[in-house]
Chains A and B, each alone.
Chain A
Amino acid sequence: MSNTGKPSLLVIIRRSPYDSSLARSAVDAALASAALDQTLDVLFLGEGVLQLLPGQNSGEVGLTNIGRLLSSFPLYGIEQVYVDAHAVTRHGIDLEQAPIPVCALQALQIHTLMEEHTHLLGF
């Protein structure tokens, strides 16, 4: 990403969707930043890739459906969503069925992505 002086934000989500309230806080922070016209990308790392599981039904646990929240990313102008390819394989996530289109990155590419942003917001 080019840096034109304006901060560029990378929101890094490492929490599985229904393990802790931090999962929801992270998604809220990404949506709020986008709503305020920040330049941002989102990266799902480690167990965070579980947020991309297709067909989530969180009604039984009484929590907001994170998959449905993620599907609103494009409406907020969040176009670039990256995932940790290693974690995707490890957790057997079918990215074709994920709530949003994502780009899978290898470890070195993740490193480069972090270098390219002025601010990292890690959850």
Chain B
Amino acid sequence: MIYSLLVLSSPVSGHGSRHAVDFARAVLARGHTLRRVFFLDAGTLASSASSVLPQDEEAQISNWVALAEKENIELAICITSALRFGMLDAAEAMRYERAAATINPVFVISGLGELVDACNAADRLVTFGG
């Protein structure tokens, strides 16, 4: 079965983002296909390369990075939300004259069209948070 995930919740509030990455791993472990993970609204904060967490808290981003690098899963963040939440890649930081890029480059800034595509291409679209 083909899955796509939509992540709406912030990685630092509630459990939606953590459940999403766990679910993504479970989908792959069961031999299903994961078409794309789309991050919208506060979900885009998962891409932050500049968060610093207390030592006894797990930074979820390492789990997302592993999914992207080892499993070749596409992690797409909505550009409108990303800009609103200050999640910029090098190109956007330059375009808007901000001091630095703030996202981990395994995340790709993209548009809502990619959510529509992820939805159309999947048997199941699973939303986390909201």
Contact = CB atoms under 8 A, between A and B. Distances in A.
Interface of A: 7, 9, 14, 21-22, 25, 28-29, 32-33, 36, 38, 119-123
A5 to B, nearest CB: 11
Interface of B: 6, 8, 40-42, 78, 80-81, 84, 111-113, 115-116, 119-120, 125, 127, 130
A25 B75 CA distance: 18
Nearest to B120: A7
Contact of A121 (B42, B81, B125): B125
A31 to B, nearest CB: 8
Which 7 A-B pairs have CB atoms at the shortest separation, nearest pair first? A32-B112, A25-B41, A36-B116, A123-B130, A22-B41, A33-B116, A119-B125
Given A25-B41, A121-B119, 17 more contacts: A7-B119, A7-B120, A9-B119, A21-B41, A21-B42, A21-B84, A22-B8, A25-B81, A28-B112, A29-B112, A33-B112, A33-B119, A119-B125, A121-B6, A122-B130, A123-B8, A123-B130
